[in-house]
Amino acid sequence: MLFALLHTRASSELATFHYQQSLPRLPLPPLRNTLDKYLQSLEPYFILNERNGRGRRSEARARRRKLADEFEQGLGVTCQQRLQELVKNAPYNWLDDAFWLRKAYLESRSSLLVQSNWWLALQDDETVPASVRLDPQPELFNEWQLRRASWLVKRMLSFKDRLDQERIPPDLVRTVPLCMSHYKRMFNMTRIPAVGCDILHKASTSNPSAHQIVVFANGNMFLVDAYESNGTFSGTDLIYRRLKACARLARSRPNVAVAILTNRDYLMQLSPRNRLNLWNIDSSLFCLSLESTRSRLQNETIADSVTNPRWDDHLHNTAYGRDGQDRWLDKTITISLESNTRFGMMGEHSPCDALVPSILGDYCVEEPINLSEFSVDNLAIPEEGDGWKSITWDIDSYITDECRRVAADAKALVDDSDDSQLWFEDYGVNWIKQVAKLSPDAYIQMALQMAWMKDQGRPTAVYETASTRLFLHGRTEVIRSLSQESLAFVQSMNDEISSPAERLRLLMAAIKAHNTYTRDASTGQGIDRHLMALRLVMAPGESSELFQDELFAQSQEWKLSTSGLSSGDRFIGTGFGSPYPDGYGINYLAGGEILKFGIESKHSCPTTSTLAFKHALVASLREMRTTCEKGYIELERGKEMTEGAIQARL
């Protein structure tokens, strides 16, 4: 995501929403522009089909141009006019108001676990003794786990208070302001399941549960007051003592993991208490899960240069917890604290994209635990009802059986997730910019396409996320990373004929094309959201061959789904699930000296392997560095020879 990589902060003197009223509206691209860019994006498919004996490139191009022209001169005119009316009447953003939130998220019936929610694993706090941080099986609910949990609750709410007071500086891309509306959607927000289309619920501050957090511990759930009756933060030490009280009760009381249920209608019907519980959870600030440290890989001997079992365990536990049983997956943000004090965040995707919560996560770990905020006196642990209470459910045999069934389904999803983290430490953004003199994000995208080619032996459509936060309530657009130019570069890296100079020229051309597409996508001139909207405003019985063409579907079959986040200096890693069973979901952090990749695929797919892709990616990044180094030498040598020949003629 380009804007994430260029993210800066405005002056701290400016209010958070200082620029909000002056932000431009997301434009509706001209229909012809979208169609021309769409046709251009099909060029790599024309080339590949011709090479595979599936028709001449010129004929394929002419056929698709005819379909585009017919749409533009016919039904497309009507559809574009319908969208223009939406633009006029949209309160904020024609795309998000009318389509995107609903179609991309709230109407989707895919599992939030693995398939939709994002996750972030953050760095350790070195205030915690190494004997705890490195212990493979520390005691659950130990002092340091509860201290760090309390400190992170304090940091979360410090950020919220600053946000409420508009003391979070506005986000900028260089000097251009970005929409800050997503920041309002991190706290007290929940996606509520509903038939056909889910609902986003934002709690009113007048609701008492809007000042509480939900705590998961050993299958139990608790409500913990985070603010006092006068509206002030309860204090780090009091939060610590309340968490200690919850932990003391949870130790001796394993419980049915009701959170795993996906359909809660029957649960609500069982009792008024269940309805109140659900209301309190939906209205709460966020969720905190206190968990045992689980090591899938740490005890295994993995002789592999691209795998760090501790990091992979951290990411996996952050994303999935106890197979989803200690997560309220509909909640915008859940933070997790393992017994060795590893810290992670995961969240539901519909309210906001992962970039904004990642800024919150970075704020949380920016300052280490301040031990002076914990009392040295042995203060009393509050009794239940004094700032905390257990969430008790009325359940019957049906609910118990349903929890077991859904838990088994969730476990199967998690077991199938082939997720891992790659830290590439040979070089980072600094070398790409200063030595290779290339755009870091586009360079990484070319490396990912090279890795896919090594892994799969053929190109695929590539999705990269572009931010449209330049506009009011802007979210994302697609960067179609596969292009005619990127295909030429990747294929040159796989032949034995191209010289380093030729490969470098092709890399430069691919990066130039990628940057042009990125600029268009980020400034409201992308094509995929527009094409989606044109299809959605068709009336019953209306259709167009343009959208029924096989290449229309193939060009949106994004088996390589990617997104860049930030430099991630304080992150262990990030991730999201692959949207295709035979693809990869890749989130990356482009740091100055290190590139971090969170990669997810499916064990059940015989043609993908996250480990194999990591090896392919490392090889690609190293080969690209060699290409740049040797290519520049050859180009310089060629330049000197040309200049020498000119001088000789003179």
The count of other CB atoms within 10 Å of the CB of residue 450 is 23
The count of other CB atoms within 10 Å of the CB of residue 244 is 18
CA distance 408 to 225: 33
Sheet containing 476-480: order of strands = 417-424, 595-602, 584-590, 560-564, 462-467, 476-480
User: Closest Cα to residue 462, out of 443, 449, 475?
Assistant: 449
| DSSP calls for 525-577 | --SHHHHHHHHHTPPTT---HHHHSHHHHHTT--SEEEEE----TTEEEEE--
User: Closest Cα to residue 536, out of 200, 98, 72, 109?
Assistant: 98
CA distance 259 to 437: 50
**Collapsing DSSP states into helix, strand and coil, what is residue 51?**
helix
User: Closest Cα to residue 460, out of 589, 580, 618?
Assistant: 580
Question: Residues 211, 349, 514, 530: which is the catalytic one?
Answer: 349
**What does the block give as tokens for 604?**
């059940």
**What does the block give as tokens for 151?**
């400190």
Query: CB–CB of 266/190 below 8 Å?
Result: no
Question: Would you call 7 a catalytic residue per the annotation?
Answer: no
CA distance 243 to 220: 12
Query: CB–CB of 171/314 below 8 Å?
Result: no
The count of other CB atoms within 10 Å of the CB of residue 541 is 5
The count of other CB atoms within 10 Å of the CB of residue 368 is 13
Query: Catalytic positions, please?
Result: 349
